[in-house]
Copies of this chain bind each other. A is one copy, B any other.
């Protein structure tokens, strides 16, 4: 029997660790011969673009390197499977590739869009009695998947974001004049990553003084009031804001500046709030976007996150071998102190295309902070450091051999 693995959606620091988990479990399973990697998610299956992973990941060091390499080693896709009725050809192509290579298990590592693929594909493969099992492994820095306590990739992103915000706090406090620093953090619909900066309070930091999440609603007037209040207490006010925070008067998101082509600059919420503070308060103000560094800064990944990501990959293969299909693996937190999770299984359709927002009851009444309960939730996820292999003063990344790129 052969198996195939693919990675999908936005990159994280942990998605390659899940790949390593499936791969390691595959090596330990006698009945498994080839382990294929599909290039660019499900597209590699559709187009029959597969790599033989055993000839690429050859040593324990290769696996260690892969664990510390961010992004998706196999590439990714944003491709959404069409409905079977409207486009059966795609499904037939997939079946053809899987049968051609005697693939009996397909593990798909991705977010809620990828779980949609798991649902549709497993239903189709069942309907034609192919005997091929499909299992989903969650990943996303957004932490917005239902059912699971948290998602692989989130802990590393949260660790990077909080460590970086702490450094920005130091950087912001050097001058004698009052200032406001606005840090824009990823999360379109869900504010988990922005909220996670509250962990700094566990280390005695007072900042971020204000935390704004998409779930809390937002008003520009209230924001300016909040900032004024904090400026009365702190010389350097630090604001963490989720990119998904939306202003009712969204047109104002354009800075008004025009480039050489006459395009208006579309800027994010951070830049917008910077201009707002400048106009309404007139103090020193800057905005900082943590950008893709939030999802790829493996050099400060969470050991808890990377270890869990590998472990859930192993469990996914075991579940598929036991005959399960159309499921997603997930974490259940069984103990807070000491922190412990078990890995369970749910129907992928419980997760596909759904989002889990930050709990309302963890948002402060003023809607500009999060409660201490949130700290207890987040802290275990950022614990531990991976001993990163370095060369020439830089982390070493695993790369596909040139002829396989």
Please report A residues at the B interface, Cβ cutoff 8 Å: 11, 40, 43, 69-72, 75-78, 159, 162-164, 166-168, 170-171, 173-176, 199-200, 202-204, 249-250, 252, 257-261, 263, 265, 271-272, 275-276, 279, 288-293, 295-300, 302, 379, 382-385, 390-397, 399
Contacts and interface: CB of A to CB of B under 8 A. Distances in A.
A224 to B, nearest CB: 13
Contact of A397 (B170, B202, B393): B170
Given A175-B77, A289-B289, A395 B170 contact: no
Contact of A288 (B168, B272, B291): B291
A69 B170 contact: yes
Contact of A173 (B71, B171, B302): B71
B263 A275 contact: yes
The 10 closest A-B pairs by CB, nearest first: A71-B170, A382-B393, A76-B174, A171-B296, A167-B296, A383-B393, A202-B392, A40-B176, A71-B171, A72-B174
A299 B163 contact: yes
A313 B396 CA distance: 33
A69 B395 CA distance: 22
Given A75-B176, A394-B163, A394-B200, A296 B382 contact: no
Given A40-B176, A72-B174, A77-B175, 6 more contacts: A75-B175, A252-B259, A260-B275, A299-B300, A300-B300, A382-B392
Contacts of A203: 391-392, 394, 396
A162 B394 contact: yes
Contacts of A393: 159, 199, 302, 379, 382-384
A368 B203 CA distance: 44
Contacts of A290: 293
Nearest to A158: B393
A176 B291 contact: no
A40 B176 CA distance: 7
**Which residue of A171, A290, A295, A395 has the most chain B CB atoms within 10 A of its CB atom?**
A171
B199 A392 contact: yes
B260 A173 contact: no
**Which residue, of A78, A259, A397, has the highest number of chain B Cβ atoms within 10 A?**
A259
A237 to B, nearest CB: 14
Contact of A257 (B200, B252, B259, B397): B252
Nearest to A39: B176
A297 B167 contact: yes
B382 A175 contact: no
B168 A292 contact: yes
B71 A174 contact: yes
Nearest to A249: B260
Contacts of A394: 159, 162-163, 166, 199-200, 203, 382
19 contacts: A11-B174, A43-B176, A70-B171, A72-B174, A76-B174, A77-B175, A162-B394, A166-B394, A167-B296, A167-B297, A170-B296, A170-B397, A171-B296, A204-B399, A252-B260, A261-B275, A382-B394, A383-B392, A385-B390
Contacts of A170: 11, 69-71, 296, 397
A56 B40 CA distance: 55
Contacts of A173: 71, 75
A292 B299 contact: no
Nearest to A395: B163
Nearest to A263: B275
A272 to B, nearest CB: 7
Contacts of A293: 164, 167-168, 288, 290, 293
- Most interface-central of A71, A258, A396 (chain B CB within 10 A): A71
Contacts of A265: 271
Contacts of A171: 11, 70-71, 292, 295-296
* Most chain B CB inside 10 Å of its own CB: which residue of A249, A263, A290, A293: A293
